[in-house]
Structures are given as C-alpha cells and as structure tokens.
C-alpha cells in the first residue's frame, strides 16, 4: 500500500531533494521507478560486487595510513570525517572507476564540502515550513547556496559520465573492461523495447548513488566504531575473530570468500545499525486506504516511517533497547525475528538496492581497521545523535587509536 507515486506534492519528504538528486531511484515513482529499478538491479549482482573487494582493501589501506599518523602522534581524531572520505573514495572507484584521491584531498575537497552543505541545508529547510515552497526558498541565502552546490555536483557527475562514454567508445564494448561497474550498466542498459536511460536519467542516478553510496555507510561505520570503542570487550571479540581469519597471511587484505566468516563482526554491524540507525526516517505516499489501528489512512497521504523508533521499540527489543548488545543478532535470535523488525535498509520493493554492497564494504573496512588498531573514545566528550540526511553526531565523535601488535 505504500510507494512513491507521481506527482510528488509540496509536503512529500523527498521533494526538496529533487533539484539535487533528480528523478533517481530514491525519488521517482510508478512505472519510471519500476523500469529503472529493473534496469539497475544487475549492477548489484554477485559477479559485479565480487571484484570490489580489491577497492575496499585499497581504500581502507589509505585510511589505515592516515590513522597510523594519529596513533604515532597520540592525537585524537574525528571519526565521521575520516570514514566519510574513505566511503566516498570507495563509491567513486567501485561504481564509477573514478579515482581523484579524495582521501588525501581531505575535507577541503570541493565535492565533499558541497555534498555536506547540501545535506545540511536540506535538513534545515525541512524543519522550516516557510521554506517549503521553491519560490520562497530559492530567494534566500540558503536557497542560493543550495542551487550553487547542486550545479557543482551535477557538473562532477557529468564529468564522470563524459569520461566513461569516451572510454567505452574507445573500447568498443564495455565487456572489454576489467569488470563492469555501476556506470557501465547505466550507460548500456536497455529495456524490453530496446530503449536505454536518457542522459538526464543517467545523471540523476549518478548523483543519487554518489550521495547514498557514501554518506549512509560512513554513518554506519562511524557509529559501529563508536560502539566498539565504548565497549572494549566486544571490540576484542571482533579482533580475535579477525586475527584468527588472517592468521599466517602476509597482508591483512581480505578475500571475497572471507566476508561470510566475519560472523561476530556482522552481529556488531547489525546491532550498530539498529542502535544508531544511519537512515532514521523514510517517507512514502500511500496508494490506497488502509487501516492503522483505529484510524483509516486515506490514499495519496504522505507518511513518514520512523525506523529509529522501530529499532527502539521496547515491545520488540526489550527494556534494554538503548544498550549495545550484539548477541541480539546471533543465529538463534535472528531466526525468531519478524522480517520487518530490523530494516536498516528499509523494506519491501523500495528497499535499498545497494544493501549487499554496503554490508560488504562495512565488513571489510571495519575488519581492517580493527585488525590494525585499538580504538578508544576521548574521555569526558559527550556524544549525542544529530539527525541530518543520515545520523551524525551533534558535536563529533572524537577517538584515539593505538597500533596493535601481531
């Protein structure tokens, strides 16, 4: 009964993102959404995801080098900032084969700053009903900055697309590349009528995946590290599992076949996403009336599904729902769960198309970090949630790292 049909009305939770992300999978609805979802699903097939393990390892190694300096100098660092650059590096390289060394460019890289400003400004706009109409918003200083940042990120997306088109034209066939990536499939996919995606469709999906493919995983990894730093006993269990898996190897680079064996780390990842909920709220529009308790919700009604509240429902998770307890996701407990009590990637037909990509990335990056470092939190620094486009920390997450000996 819930989807995102056209047209979006003024109060839809995603309408304000349209000038940034266009009619990509996040925002589009109806037949267009169904067609594009069908065309893009092959981009997340097992055979496509498998080669990305090399990029996960390489990008994580760059991050390890950066954190090593903090360890040697015994200096604290802000977790989200460093992780966000790593996940942006990964999505650029995996999905678009686009390497601009973003991790070493730091937070001053213009694309990183533009995406951060877009997310913050959109979040602030949603909190002010007076800014809902475009005619008012784009006359404000915030609206003008938002438009400027939209133009910039669109330019980056178009540059990525143009460079890939030239590569494909030179190769003749995309399969001549080492492996197909998301952008290859965007450029070559055709429906049953032989019609491919328009240039605007392609740019919208590039913008959508650039944003969704790094901010959400950055939030998840950051909060999981925070939880493990706060609970050294769980951190140690993860490290013991990782050490056993890597025993006798010359490097700590993981193989694709290693990921399913990180069972305890996976429990911690899921519990971290339950407790801290990277995407706290999703918006939908009802397609037909349905009963909600004693209330009938009419068709074409904007609804918000509060995933954070679901993941903290005492009747579902118990009175200790605010505690970090990875054993909630043991094999025995998972078999008893309702399929919709844990939905960090949303649920139903509009669930996150990239959830397997995200989980694999989180496992690899976290495992490599935990193998190399012991994490602890800055004493007396209070960490609070701040909901933006994703769950962030209000006053940052400050941590210290120490090198582990093997």
Exposed/middle/buried for 305, CB within 10 Å: 0-12, 13-18, 19+?
middle
Round to whole Å and give the CA distance between 273 and 344.
6
Tally Cβ neighbours within 10 Å of residue 106: 12
Domain boundary assignment for the chain: 15-247+354-403
HEC per residue, 50-70: HHHHHHHHHHHHHHHHHHHHH
15-247+354-403: CATH, from 1.10.760.10, 3.40.50.970, 1.10.630.10, 3.30.70.270: 1.10.630.10
Nearest 5 degrees, angle CA 303-CA 304-CA 310? 130
Position 11 scores a pLDDT of 42
| Global confidence as pTM | 0.91
Q: Which residues, at least 6 apart from 128, have a Cβ–Cβ distance to it below 8 Å?
A: none
**Bond prior to 234 in cis (omega within 30° of 0):** no
- Give the pLDDT of the chain (406 residues) as one tens digit per residue: 344 444 444 345 688 899 999 999 988 888 889 999 999 999 898 888 999 999 999 999 999 999 999 999 999 999 998 999 999 999 999 999 888 888 987 666 788 788 888 988 998 998 899 999 999 999 999 999 999 999 999 999 999 999 888 887 887 654 555 567 889 889 988 988 898 899 999 999 999 998 888 889 999 999 999 999 999 999 999 999 999 999 999 999 999 999 999 999 999 999 999 999 999 999 888 889 989 889 999 998 888 899 999 999 999 999 999 999 999 999 999 999 999 999 999 998 889 999 999 999 999 999 999 999 999 999 999 999 998 888 999 989 999 999 998 8
What tokens appear for 135 in the block? Answer: 């005619």
Answer for the pair 286, 294: CB distance below 8 angstroms, yes or no. Answer: no
Reading the block at residue 96, the tokens are 């678009």
Region of 393 (left: φ > 0; alpha: ψ -120 to 50; beta: rest) is beta
Which residues 6+ apart lie within 8 Å of 148 measured at CB? none
CB 113 within 8 A of CB 107: yes
The pLDDT of residue 180: 74
């Amino acid at each position: 009964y819930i989807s995102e049909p056209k047209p979006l009305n003024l109060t839809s939770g995603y309408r304000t993102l349209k000038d940034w992300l266009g009619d990509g999978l996040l925002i589009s609805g109806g037949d267009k959404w169904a067609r594009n979802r069908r065309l893009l699903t092959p981009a997340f097939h097992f055979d496509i995801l498998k080669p990305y393990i090399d990029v996960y390892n390489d990008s994580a190694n760059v991050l390890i080098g950066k954190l090593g300096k903090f360890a040697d100098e015994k200096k604290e660092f802000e977790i989200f900032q460093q992780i966000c650059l790593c996940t942006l590096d990964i999505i650029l390289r995996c999905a678009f084969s686009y390497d601009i060394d973003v991790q070493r460019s730091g937070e001053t890289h213009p694309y990183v700053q533009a995406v951060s400003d877009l997310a913050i400004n959109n979040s602030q706009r949603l909190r002010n009903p007076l800014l809902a109409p475009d005619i008012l918003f784009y006359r404000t200083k915030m609206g003008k900055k938002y438009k400027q940042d939209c133009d910039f990120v669109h330019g980056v997306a178009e540059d990525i697309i143009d460079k890939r088109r030239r590569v494909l034209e030179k190769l003749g066939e995309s399969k001549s590349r080492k492996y197909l990536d998301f952008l290859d499939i965007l450029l070559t996919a055709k429906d049953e009528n032989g019609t491919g995606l328009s240039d605007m469709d392609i740019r919208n999906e590039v913008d959508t995946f650039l944003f969704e493919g790094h901010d959400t995983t950055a939030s998840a990894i950051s909060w999981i590290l925070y939880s493990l730093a706060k609970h050294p006993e769980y951190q140690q269990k993860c490290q013991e599992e990782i050490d056993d898996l890597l025993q006798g190897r010359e490097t700590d680079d993981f193989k694709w076949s290693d990921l399913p064996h990180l069972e305890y780390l996976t429990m911690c990842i899921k519990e971290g996403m339950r407790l801290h909920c990277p995407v706290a709220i999703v918006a939908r529009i009802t397609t037909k009336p349905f009963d909600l308790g004693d209330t009938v919700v009419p068709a074409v009604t904007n609804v918000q599904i509060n995933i954070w509240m679901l993941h903290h429902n005492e009747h579902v998770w118990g009175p200790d729902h605010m505690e970090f307890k990875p054993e909630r996701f043991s094999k025995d407990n998972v078999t008893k769960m309702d399929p919709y009590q844990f939905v960090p990637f949303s649920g139903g037909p509009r669930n996150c198309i990239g959830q397997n990509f995200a989980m694999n990335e989180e496992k690899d990056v976290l495992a490599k970090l935990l193998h190399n470092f012991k994490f602890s939190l800055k004493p007396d620094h209070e960490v609070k949630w701040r909901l933006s486009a994703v769950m962030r920390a209000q006053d940052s997450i400050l941590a210290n790292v120490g090198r582990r000996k093997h």
